[in-house]
């Protein structure tokens, strides 16, 4: 048993932060056992870690990130999505046929996630099975909870990334069979998006999802072009999300809909019916995609919400900064599109970064009893002339914090060094 004495902040609900001062958080075998205002008699012999002026918060979850795009972060940010993909991203992803390059990038990528306090992630790989397998294996070895997908693309893609339908399904099944038994980092089906996948491929992936009990991550109504192109290619479907539903891709496991910026009412109904997460990627929104997810409206509709860094359309691995951006963008959307939209609270955004997104992985994302102790110790954010409450320190960290303000990282109760 370990005890952490000091200030503790986490999301009690989607709209309420729980904040404790001068309290004791007890961790038993990697799981939060309880929070106490005074030291219980039966715990007086336990080791006590004094937090001082620092604050203990849950570790972050990133529900949409492209690991192979890590070398591209912060580059070509003046392009819009079609040009950005064609001129920069697709040529970069083709390089992952080279395993020496893939290993170097993926090791650096995972180091940066941890440095930014992200200990759980849903990750795109590339079409390359060997390289994507390495990424998944490294996450498993490091104990980083996640889902990793081998990307599928069998039409309207550059020659260097274009798969045959049969080859894509065969490689995907090999990937699923190899890693389906993983306990920490698990495989997930990853068609890039509907315009790069044939009907045969999507329905084949749906059958594999049912066979192996795995879920789906993909880009959904990411742009106005993609939303229109998806239904043009699949005219028997009324919306983007229905394509995946008809293919049987929404029933095998967790469903992660990246961006979800321009959903129709039917998109929302289908995602809610299958319990899927909508993932807002704020930096990517303003850099590459040019649209703002209707965050408050989706939350009101009962859609689980999360945040993604979307490296490298987003330029930083810090999910904490995405929480701040989510609030900012909700204000902009409510100002320019007031009907049906309103600004979200910081408490809502922090929940999207921790508890709501962490629910995808089980009991992570909070510091309530019964949750795994995946946590961060943050500090160094106060001025000498002005004291802040613990909740204010957390808010300042999300708006103005850097990795230097993360004093310690804990994964399943163990401090990472």
Mean pLDDT of 31-48: 94
SS3 for the chain is CEEEEEEEEEEEECCEEEEEEEEEEEEECCEEEEEECCCCHHHCCCEEEEEEEEEEEECEEEEEEEHHHHHHCCCCCCCCHHHHHHHHHHHHHHHHHCHHHHHHHHHHHHHHHHHCCEEEEEEECCCCHHHHHHHHHHHHHHCCEEEEECEECCCCCCHHHCCCHHHHHHHHHHHHHHHCCCCCEEECEEECCHHHCCHHHHHHHHHHHHHHCCCEEEEECCCHHHHHHHHHHCCCCCCHHHHHHHCCCCCCCCEEEEECCCCCHHHHHHHHHCCCEEEECHHHHHHHHCCCCCHHHHHHCCCCEEECCCECCECCCCHHHHHHHHHHHHHHHHHHCCCCCCCCCHHHHHHHHCHHHHHHHCCCCCCCCCCECCEEEECCCCECCECCCHHHHHHHHHHHCCHHHEEEEEECCEECC
Instruction: Give pLDDT, residue 411.
Output: 98
Decide if pLDDT at 408 tops 80.
Answer: yes
What pLDDT digit, counting tens, does each position of 372-388 carry? 999 999 999 999 999 99
Torsion angle of C-alpha atoms 111, 112, 117, 119, degrees rounded to 10 = -50
Q: How many CB atoms lie within 10 A of CB 164?
A: 11
Q: In what order do the strands lie in the sheet with 305-307?
A: 216-220, 255-259, 277-280, 305-307
Both tokens assigned to 41:
């008699």
pTM flag (> 0.95): yes
171-192 pLDDT per residue, tens = 999 999 999 999 999 999 999 9
- pLDDT score for 343: 97
**Mean model confidence pLDDT for the chain:** 97
**Which CB contacts under 8 angstroms, 24+ apart, belong to 227-236?**
227/262, 227/264, 229/194, 229/195, 230/193, 230/194, 230/195, 233/194, 233/195, 234/194, 234/199
Tokens standing for residue 310:
């979307």
The residue-averaged pLDDT of 309-331 equals 97
- Name the residue among 330, 374, 366 with its Cα closest to residue 349: 330
- Give the whole-angstrom CA distance, residue 278 versus residue 405: 29
Residues in the chain: 417
Whether the bond between 158 and the residue before it is cis, its omega within 30 degrees of 0, is: no
pLDDT attached to residue 289: 82
Per-residue pLDDT reduced to its tens digit, 54-88: 999 999 999 999 999 999 999 999 998 889 999 99
∠ CA 71-311-402, rounded to 5°: 95
Output the pLDDT for position 2: 95
- Look at residue 24 and tell me whether its pLDDT is greater than 90: yes
The 10s digit of each residue's pLDDT in 194-205 is 999 999 999 999
pLDDT confidence of residue 205: 98
**pLDDT value of residue 75:** 95
| Tokens describing residue 98 | 């080279």
What integer pLDDT is reported at residue 255 of this predicted model? 98
All domains in the chain, ordered by first residue: 2-58+365-415 (2.30.40.10), 60-361 (3.20.20.140)
Examine the pLDDT at 350 and tell me if it is beyond 80: yes
Is the pLDDT at 222 greater than 90? The verdict is yes
Query: Residue 154: what pLDDT?
Result: 98
Cα-Cα-Cα-Cα dihedral of 153, 154, 156, 158, to 10°?
70
What pLDDT, on the 0 to 100 scale, is given for residue 249?
98
Query: Residue 63 in contact with residue 308, Cβ under 8 Å?
Result: yes
The string of pLDDT tens digits covering residues 150-165 is 999 999 999 999 999 9
Predicted local confidence at residue 228, as pLDDT: 94
Has residue 290 got a pLDDT over 80? Answer: no
Question: Above 80 in pLDDT, residue 108?
Answer: yes
Strand partners, 306: 279
pLDDT at residue number 45: 87
- Contact between 294 and 341 under an 8 Å Cβ cutoff? The reply is yes
Contact present, 259 and 226 (Cβ < 8 Å): no
Q: Is the pLDDT of residue 272 over 90?
A: yes
Whole-number Å distance between alpha carbons of 131 and 93: 11
- Residues 226-238 have a mean pLDDT of 95
pLDDT (average), residues 269-298: 95
pLDDT band for position 110 (cuts 50, 70, 90): very high
- CA–CA gap between residue 333 and residue 30 (Å, rounded): 41
């Amino acid at each position: 048993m370990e005890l952490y004495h000091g200030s503790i902040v986490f999301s009690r609900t989607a709209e309420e932060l729980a904040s404790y001062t001068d309290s004791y958080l007890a961790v038993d075998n990697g799981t939060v056992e309880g929070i106490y205002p005074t030291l219980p008699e039966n715990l007086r012999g336990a080791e006590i870690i004094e937090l001082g002026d620092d604050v203990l918060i849950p570790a972050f979850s990133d529900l949409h990130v492209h690991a192979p795009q890590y070398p591209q972060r912060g580059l070509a940010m003046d392009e819009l999505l079609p040009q950005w993909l064609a001129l920069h991203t697709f040529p970069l992803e083709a390089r992952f046929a080279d395993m020496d390059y893939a290993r170097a990038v993926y090791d650096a990528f995972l180091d940066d996630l941890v440095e930014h306090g992200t200990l759980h992630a849903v990750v795109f790989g590339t079409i390359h099975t060997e390289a994507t397998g390495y990424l998944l294996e490294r996450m498993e070895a490091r104990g980083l909870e996640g889902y990793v997908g081998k990307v599928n693309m069998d039409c309207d893609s550059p020659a260097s990334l274009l798969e045959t339908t049969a080859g894509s399904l065969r490689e995907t099944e090999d990937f699923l069979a190899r890693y389906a038994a993983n306990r920490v980092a698990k495989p997930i089906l990853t068609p890039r998006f509907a315009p790069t996948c044939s009907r045969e491929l999507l329905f084949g992936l749906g059958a594999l999802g049912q066979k192996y009990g795995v879920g789906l991550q993909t880009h959904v109504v990411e742009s106005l072009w993609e939303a229109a192109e998806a239904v043009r290619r699949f005219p028997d479907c009324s919306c983007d999300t229905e394509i995946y539903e008809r293919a049987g891709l929404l029933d095998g496991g967790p469903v992660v809909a990246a961006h979800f910026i321009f959903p129709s009412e039917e998109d929302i109904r289908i995602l809610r019916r299958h319990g899927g997460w909508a993932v807002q990627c704020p930096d990517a929104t303003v850099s590459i995609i040019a649209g703002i997810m209707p965050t408050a409206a989706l939350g009101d509709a009962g859609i689980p919400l999360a945040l993604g860094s979307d490296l490298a359309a987003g330029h930083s691995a810090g999910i904490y900064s995405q929480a701040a951006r989510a609030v900012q963008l909700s204000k902009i959307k409510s100002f320019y599109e007031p009907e049906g939209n309103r600004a979200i609270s910081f408490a809502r955004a922090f929940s999207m970064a921790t508890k709501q997104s962490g629910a995808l992985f089980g009991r992570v994302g909070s510091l309530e009893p019964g949750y795994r102790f995946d946590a961060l110790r943050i500090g160094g954010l106060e001025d000498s002339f002005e004291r802040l409450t613990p909740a204010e320190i957390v808010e300042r960290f999300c708006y103005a914090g850097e990795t230097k303000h993360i004093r310690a990282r804990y994964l399943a109760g163990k401090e990472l060094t």
